[in-house]
């Protein structure tokens, strides 16, 4: 026999169900963030980058490269303004966590063109005194074409190419 359920009771059941679902999502999200050492990615410590095994080779190369004493991962791979830095870190975090979860990342890991632009902007920023006279079109040899710093200086940050 079905007893009638008042609208107030239905609302209460719906609220409990929503709270349980929200709690489960928040709990699993917090567990995942903790397990993945999510807070470490907000730091400037290069060891955070090797939380993922696919970055070990780049980290080891950086430790042996000429920039080891002068630049960390964040100095080269994220914009230097606060908003750009954390927006880029969030985008990288989302893309990397999705790739690792779905196991569809490239090995060896490859930098995306838009992220390479950030690297080049940071090269020019740090080395402005050395490259201020080299306008990109002049340096490229082709008007309007930008040559990547890493085209000739690829081993500076991560050691010799592998």
Q: How many CB atoms sit inside 10 A of residue 55's CB? A: 18
User: What average pLDDT does the segment 121-134 reach?
Assistant: 82
Measuring CA to CA, how many Å separate 77 from each of 118, 134, 135?
6, 22, 22
Residue % of the chain over a pLDDT of 70: 88
pTM across the whole model: 0.72
Question: How much is the pLDDT for 142?
Answer: 62
Kindly report, residue by residue over 36-92, the tens digit of the pLDDT: 777 777 788 888 888 777 788 888 989 988 888 889 999 999 999 999 999 998 898
């Amino acid at each position: 026999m079905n007893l009638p359920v008042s609208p107030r009771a239905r609302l209460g059941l719906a609220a409990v169900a929503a709270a349980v679902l929200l709690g489960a999502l928040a709990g699993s999200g917090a567990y995942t963030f903790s397990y993945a050492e999510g807070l470490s990615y907000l730091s400037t410590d290069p060891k955070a980058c090797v939380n993922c095994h696919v970055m070990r080779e780049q980290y080891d190369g950086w430790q042996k490269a000429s920039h080891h004493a002068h630049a960390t991962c964040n100095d080269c791979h994220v914009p230097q303004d606060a908003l750009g830095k954390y927006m880029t870190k969030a985008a990288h975090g989302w893309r990397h966590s999705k790739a690792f979860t779905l196991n569809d990342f490239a090995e060896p890991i490859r930098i995306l063109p838009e992220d390479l632009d950030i690297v080049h902007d940071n090269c020019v920023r740090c080395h402005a005194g050395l490259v201020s006279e080299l306008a990109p079109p002049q340096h490229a040899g082709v008007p309007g074409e930008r040559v990547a710093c890493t085209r000739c200086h690829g081993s500076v940050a991560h050691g010799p190419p592998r």
